[in-house]
Structure 1
Amino acid sequence: MSKPFGHMGWRHSLWWLALIALGLIMVAPLIWTLMLSLKSNSELLRSTTNAFHLPYTLENYAAILKSSGVFRWLFNSVLVAGLTTIGVLTLSSLAGYGFARLEFPFRDVLFVVVLFGLAIPEQAVIITRHQMFAGLGLHNSYPGLILPGLAAPFGVFLMTQYFKAIPKELDEAAMLDNASRLKVFWKVLLPLTLPAQATLGIFTFLAAWNDYWWPLISATRPEMFTLTVGIASSQINFAQTSGLGYLMTQAVFASVPILIVYVFFQKYIVRAVAGQAVR
């Protein structure tokens, strides 16, 4: 009996070693970025191979705190990602409830049209969107950065399926107590969809925070840059920056809010990735 158990223990150890190795490979770029951000720019001009050797310094982080541009970009990203998330959750919940619970003409046809949105890449409509927003004068504005993100066909699909999974007897019981449609939605059904809303909200926030394509087109003034565009503009004009260490510090600074979101909502993120959000 000892051999099988010993053999399984050996295989179990190999799996753990493989997982640790893969984890280190994935974390290595993050560690490298953090180490470079703690080195002086003059030292990095000579060589970047000494990232794991003393001395370290916080001068790059002090420079970040003195820079008004980075905080403006951070504010823009927080505002755009936050309002986009709130808007997507609101519209997707209302649309999902309508498709799942209400009877109206061409409901199924409209739902299919919404699903078509999942198959259309953003690049296919970017020229039309740019012309439309330019005609409305919405470039270099917060509405111009937020409105495109509110079109979330996946969110509508997710919330529709979640509302369909809730027994209709709950609606009928509430209506017997003279509850209106709005009250049934707000008081009875919406609280039951919190797992799906948490999943949708997390992925929407991450997507809006990391979005680079549309802010690059819509925001042409530095004061309207989001963090992704602002940091990229610093990297493009490397000769005008304070150095490689400063660029790495900006990258670390930009990742801190995402890390905070993950720490507080990691349970929902794990459930979403495991496909357990709508169970």
Structure 2
Amino acid sequence: MTPMLRKGWFDRAVMAALVLLAALWMLPLLWVLALSFKPNELLMVRTDVFLAPPYTLANYADILQTSAVFRWLGNSALVAALQTLGVLVLSSLAGYGFARCEFPGRRWLFPLVLFGLAVPSQSVFIPLHRLFSDWGLQNTYAGLALPGLAAPFGVFLMTQYFKAVPIDLEEAAMLDNASRFKTFFKVVLPLTLPAQATLGIFTFLACWNDYLWPLVIATKPEMYTLTRGLASTQTNFAQSEGLGFLMAQAVFAGAPVLMIYLFFQKHLVTAVAGTGRS
């Protein structure tokens, strides 16, 4: 067997292994999707026949019959959009500053920002809640969105990506009398769109799926996000009496994020490859 033929068989074996692992990874998702179309009465008896009929749309109808569900959906979309926009703006400015600018304390400030990755968000819930309550931001969109603007991962990602951008482009723009801000907005920032898309996806996903912070800062039903609102509709015995309803809630809450991810997925590989060139 020639080396070329052996390489071909090896590539096929690796691809087959990856397909198998992907199928195993998708199986729980397919199980959740299938159970969301099953009658709750049947699921009280058994849950291992998720591919066989009967099927029903009653679980999704129960979600849509909740009068505030579209208000919660709008709250989640608005808060996630505001937080994503804020993170992109602040992380881009901070990342460019760390990558290109010299200022006092730069060498110790960047590791300090990265140290924020090691701090669990739950550990600062009490001081954050007291601070936002004193500011009168409880049950407000600002109170829901502002804590997520502190994004050490975003600063790290954008810093690495800005370092990968050739500095010759900036020098050429400055030779044409372009200011630092004009160079940043007109020359450098457009080259970081893959990283921006990646950071935007991660930020939007984290905010959309967040449950703990809306649980403590939003106490009025009209200010619930989708995760908080759907959880409030569950009974104490939802796992045994409404499994199909729970699965439908998971699908309903995850579908918008899945569509956004599929739309921007091509930027993920580009962004990761870009950070590796620094």
Q: Distance in 2 between matches of 1:99 and 1:165?
A: 13
Q: Which residue of 1 aligns with 2:75?
A: 76
Q: Distance in 2 between matches of 1:59 and 1:72?
A: 21
1:276 and 2:273 matched? yes
User: 2:41 is aligned with what amino acid?
Assistant: S
Report the secondary structure of 1:51's partner residue: coil
Alpha carbons of structure 1 residues 8 and 263: separation in structure 2 relative to 1, 3 Å: closer
Q: Distance in 1 between matches of 2:120 and 2:178?
A: 41
Q: Which residue of 1 aligns with 2:184?
A: 185
Shift, 1:249, TM fit: 1.4
User: 2:151 is aligned with what amino acid?
Assistant: A
Shift, 1:150, TM fit: 0.4
The Cα offsets for residues 124-143 of structure 1, whole Å up to 9 and x where unpaired, read as 32221121112112122111
1:247 and 2:246 matched? yes
Aligned-CA RMSD value? 2.9
Q: Which residue of 2 aligns with 1:164?
A: 163
Shift, 1:184, TM fit: 1.0
Report the secondary structure of 1:56's partner residue: coil
Alpha carbons of structure 1 residues 150 and 6: separation in structure 2 relative to 1, 3 Å: closer
1:132 and 2:124 matched? no
Q: Which residue of 2 aligns with 1:113?
A: 112
Count of aligned pairs: 276
- 8 A Cα contact 2:161 2:274, kept in partner: no
Shift, 1:5, TM fit: 5.7
User: 1:184 is aligned with what amino acid?
Assistant: T
Report the secondary structure of 2:273's partner residue: coil
Report the secondary structure of 1:123's partner residue: helix
1:22-171 equivalences in 2 (<5 Å):
22-171=21-170
Alpha carbons of structure 1 residues 120 and 7: separation in structure 2 relative to 1, 3 Å: closer
- 8 A Cα contact 1:145 1:218, kept in partner: yes
Alpha carbons of structure 1 residues 12 and 64: separation in structure 2 relative to 1, 3 Å: same
- 8 A Cα contact 1:202 1:269, kept in partner: no
Q: TM-score, normalised by structure 2?
A: 0.86
User: 1:42 is aligned with what amino acid?
Assistant: E
Alpha carbons of structure 1 residues 216 and 26: separation in structure 2 relative to 1, 3 Å: same
Shift, 1:254, TM fit: 0.9
Stretches of structure 2 that go unaligned for 5 or more consecutive residues are: none
Alpha carbons of structure 1 residues 277 and 221: separation in structure 2 relative to 1, 3 Å: farther
- 8 A Cα contact 1:234 1:247, kept in partner: no
Report the secondary structure of 1:104's partner residue: coil
- 8 A Cα contact 2:139 2:223, kept in partner: yes
Alpha carbons of structure 1 residues 72 and 193: separation in structure 2 relative to 1, 3 Å: same
The Cα offsets for residues 67-100 of structure 1, whole Å up to 9 and x where unpaired, read as 2332222212211211111110100111122223
Q: Which residue of 2 aligns with 1:233?
A: 232
Alpha carbons of structure 1 residues 67 and 128: separation in structure 2 relative to 1, 3 Å: same
The Cα offsets for residues 5-33 of structure 1, whole Å up to 9 and x where unpaired, read as 68984x76765554444333322222222
Q: Distance in 1 between matches of 2:166 and 2:117?
A: 27
Q: Distance in 1 between matches of 2:12 and 2:109?
A: 53
Identity of aligned residues (%): 62
- 8 A Cα contact 2:195 2:267, kept in partner: no
The Cα offsets for residues 180-233 of structure 1, whole Å up to 9 and x where unpaired, read as 222111101111111221221111111112222222222222222222222333
- 8 A Cα contact 2:114 2:152, kept in partner: yes
Q: TM-score, normalised by structure 1?
A: 0.85
